[in-house]
Amino acid sequence: MMKQLTGLGATALLAAAMIVGAAAPASANTTSTTHSNTINDAIPVTCDGPGWTAFWGTGNMVTHLTVNNAGDSWFTTTQEGTVTLTTMWGGSSGTWMGHVQEWFGSEDNNKSSVQHATFNFQGVNVSDSSKTLAMHAAFTMTTNANGTLVVNNQTVSCG
């Protein structure tokens, strides 16, 4: 089943906050990399209509942030591991255990920007192991120098 992704996940919001803070011209190029064994995020999609999907668990997370002298910035985060995933929509919820892979990137150059992400989960329902969930979400959004959204590709599929 295909649903439209209605916005950015918490990772995207974190990246946007970091980029806004980093948008002022820096005195020198800055690069940082962060590693973590704790992974978590929330994305504003579910397989069953409007709602949220959140996960938390352990695995590997790496984030990179680069800001150049002009204030242009590039941010990526990659995480994968074993998680508990909860979907919440219309007063209902479901909880799943399984493996997640998520990648997010944001490139902000002068007045244009590109944000893109992929999310994959495969797992079983914690209360009924005969039920499985395979979820894939992806988006790409590009804004030109006039602030106009020129690319907005968003999909969610579940099985």
98-101 long-range contacts (CB < 8 A, ≥24 apart) are: 98/122, 98/123, 98/124, 98/133, 99/123, 100/39, 100/55, 100/57, 100/59
Q: Structurally, how many domains does the chain consist of?
A: 1
Judge contact between 132 and 157, C-beta under 8 A: no
Q: How confident is the model over 28-77, as pLDDT tens digits?
A: 689 999 999 999 998 888 887 788 899 999 999 999 999 998 889 999 99
Domain extent for 67: 2-158
Q: How confident is the model over 16-34, as pLDDT tens digits?
A: 444 444 444 445 689 999 9
Tell me the mean pLDDT in the region 85-101.
89
Instruction: Give the pLDDT band of residue 88 (cuts 50, 70, 90).
Output: confident
Instruction: Give the pLDDT band of residue 111 (cuts 50, 70, 90).
Output: confident
Predicted TM-score (pTM) of this structure: 0.76
Please report the pLDDT score of residue 98 as a whole number. 98
**Calpha distance 86→38 (Å, rounded):** 17
Q: Which residue type, as a one-letter code, is found at position 51?
A: G
Apex 135 CA angle, 102 and 63, nearest 5: 5
Torsion, Cα of 20, 25, 29, 32 (10° steps): -20
Residues near 129 by beta carbon (within 8 Å), at least 6 away in sequence: none
